[in-house]
Homo-oligomer: A and B are copies of this chain.
Amino acid sequence: MTPHQARALFQAARVARLATADGAGRPHVVPIVFAVDEDVIYTAVDHKPKRSRALRRLANVAENPAVAVLVDQYDDQDWDRLWWARADGTGRVVSTGSDEEQRAIERLRDRYAAYLERPPAGPVLAVDVRRWSGWFATSASAGPRASD
């Protein structure tokens, strides 16, 4: 899978999983909704956060900015249709009230109908992606079916 294909799969996916690690290297992983802007992935803390968890991913990024984000397709009936794409990069909290925060929130609202009712709250986390990579079970899946 090329970096371009990996990014395209992120742009088409609705949910991703965000892996962070604390300063001691203990990994943490949560599902996220997100938006992609060039080589940056944006996600907002949930509108209905469980406070301790919302803080965990942010505390981890403050201690250790290395993060990995995954999107994938699983198909129990046909393992030839499996694929995943990963973005490795650096996480940072976007400055509150900045233009970048506003743009990120607009992108998230444009992308998820649920955000129209309940706009994203809390800080916006940006992941500056250094590497897009991925894997298809079969090269045949690299065609239009890849984003099924």
Contact = CB atoms under 8 A, between A and B. Distances in A.
A25 interface: yes
A31 B71 CA distance: 9
A70 B21 contact: no
A87 to B, nearest CB: 10
B21 A26 contact: yes
Contacts of A112: 76
Contacts of A67: 27
A67 B113 CA distance: 34
Contact of A28 (B19, B31, B74): B19
Contacts of A135: 50, 53
Contacts of A15: 72, 74
Interface in A80-136: 82, 84, 86, 88, 112-114, 135
A25 B64 contact: yes
Contacts of A27: 19-21, 27, 29, 66-68
Contact of A25 (B17, B25, B88, B114): B25
A88 B68 CA distance: 17
Interface of A: 14-15, 17, 19-31, 48, 50, 53, 64, 66-70, 72, 74, 76, 79, 82, 84, 86, 88, 112-114, 135, 137
